[in-house]
Amino acid sequence: MRHQDDTSSVNEEGRGGFSLPAVAATGLARGLGGALIFSLPMLMTMEMWWLGFYLDRFRLVLLLILNIPLLTLLSHQAGFEETSEWRDDLRDAATAYGIGIVSSTLVLTGFGIITVGMPLDEIVGKIAIQSVPASIGALLGRSQLGGGKAKLPQGSEEEAYGGELLLMAVGALFLGLNVAPTEEMILISYKMTEWHAIAIIAVSILLMHGFVYALEFKGESPLYPDTPWWSAFLRFTVVGYAIAALVSLYVLWTFGRTEDVSLSQILMSVTVLGFPTSIGAAAARLIL
Amino acid sequence: MDARLKKQNENGKSQAQQAPKDGGSSQPSIIEWIVGTVSALLTLAMIGFLSYHAFEKQNTIPQLAVVVEEIRPVDDVYHAAFRIVNEGNATAAGVLVVGELRSGGEVVEEREVTFDYVPSLSERQGALIFENDPSTHNLQIEPHGYSEP
């Protein structure tokens, strides 16, 4: 496996001499650790268990399929190694997905959430919904626990910009999946007035801009210290918020929160979920 | 690439202000501006829509109405499926819906169900399960009360 080079150069420096299976096992263990760190909050949320059996099957399958290119792109952009070939990225994505499924199965079985007597549809549904955040965690865990950080996207300027936006989307999706299934999410939107919603949007955008300034002006990103504030605001902050809002809408739709609900009520939920997702998007480089 | 060059020429002045540090590509590409503008419009549309509703909103009470959809015989019982529509501007929580089967002024059977939420300007679906055939009786389904969320 190629990540032998990576781990040995980053962590096992000087210790060397690890056999191939040992290195592979280290990588898998890091993935498992990452999967648990990222997905335990969701594994211990009862709404996530319920979603496993009442979620519309078409939407569940769509989420599962969308997760494949997402993991692959994430591996390419922020992966734990310098991947040059899509084949490697696809392999890393598949491994992360596998770790996500196995860890979800183990934890859900350990909690007694899935038992032998249950219908297969319910068991598979419960594992499937959890495997998405767990697989993101597995992929990131391999880079995080390995001491690496999400690398700055390489390549042309457009590619680098696209990479930034992808990281934002993953950060938003990750925090969104964390909070969206709970009932509090929609309850908050019922308690708020439209004025509250507008205030939340303003606060979200302001906080995001703070993150953009704190994280992006480090010289290596596409932003330069003499970039005017409105330029960074329009190209990163506002775009990030739009991504966070769209990801929120997608997650709400996936979880069936938009059924027979008026547009204004959907927008209220989007702004509520948009608060954590925008923080997730802006801080993606911190978390991921 | 052509588009980017063009953009750079148009913004000759601002390019001079943002002099590239590495002699390379600090000038944002046109794609970034397009994405930025679309995002700004999207966000403004969202805020605009919410403001419009905030101003338009007059009385904030839930207005609940039940519409019976169909009677489905299931095994020995009958499911009276209905929609509960909230045409008001406020969300109702804990909505109790009671259904009665009457025969000549006398209540033959009574069933109830509670909806956690019926959001404003939205609808929810449910069913009451009767032992007697609702189509041979007088079926009445009404919302009985709600709480604020």
Domain boundary among A103, A123, A151: A151
The reply to whether residue A265 touches residue B36, judged by beta carbons under 8 angstroms, is: no
Please tell me what DSSP assigns to residue A236: I
Please give the share of chain A, as a percent, with pLDDT higher than 70.
81
Domains of chain B from N-terminus onward: 2-56 (no CATH), 64-147 (2.60.40.10)
Q: Does A165 contact chain B (CB < 8 Å)?
A: yes
Residue A1 domain-assigned? no
Contacts of A262 in chain B (CB under 8 A): 119-122
Residues A192 and A260: their CA atoms lie apart, in Å, by 19
Using one digit for the tens of pLDDT, what is the confidence trace for B75-111?
Answer: 899 999 999 999 988 899 999 999 999 988 888 899 9
- Phi, psi angle pair for B146, to nearest 5°: -155, 170
Minimum distance, in Å, between the CA of residue B33 and any CA atom of chain A = 6
Domain boundary among A129, A151, A173: A151
The pLDDT score that the predictor gives to residue A211 is: 84
Minimum distance, in Å, between the CA of residue B79 and any CA atom of chain A = 20
Task: Give me B108's structure tokens.
Answer: 């033959």
Q: Are A158 and A266 found together in one domain?
A: yes
For A219-233, give the DSSP string. TTSS--TTS-HHHHI
Number of domains present in the structure of chain A: 2
Tokens 């996936």, located at residue: A254
Using one digit for the tens of pLDDT, what is the confidence trace for B3-26?
Answer: 444 444 444 434 333 333 343 445
Q: Are A96 and A32 found together in one domain?
A: yes
Residues A276 and A267: their CA atoms lie apart, in Å, by 15
Q: Which of A3-12, A90-99, A103-112, B115-124 has the lowest mean pLDDT?
A: A3-12
Residues A47 and A28: their CA atoms lie apart, in Å, by 29
Q: Are A157 and A98 found together in one domain?
A: no
Q: Are A270 and A164 found together in one domain?
A: yes
Q: Does A192 contact chain B (CB < 8 Å)?
A: no
Domain boundary among A121, A151, A181: A151
Q: Are A146 and A158 found together in one domain?
A: no
User: Based on C-alpha coordinates, what's the Rg of chain A?
Assistant: 20
Print the domain residue range for A219. 153-288
Interface pTM, i.e. ipTM: 0.76
Task: Give me A60's structure tokens.
Answer: 């569940």
A283 contacts: CB under 8 Å, gap ≥ 6 = A171, A211, A215
Average the pLDDT over B110-134 and give the result. 92
Q: Are A102 and A190 found together in one domain?
A: no
Query: Which of B39, B121, B123 faces A238 most closely, judged by CB atoms?
Result: B39
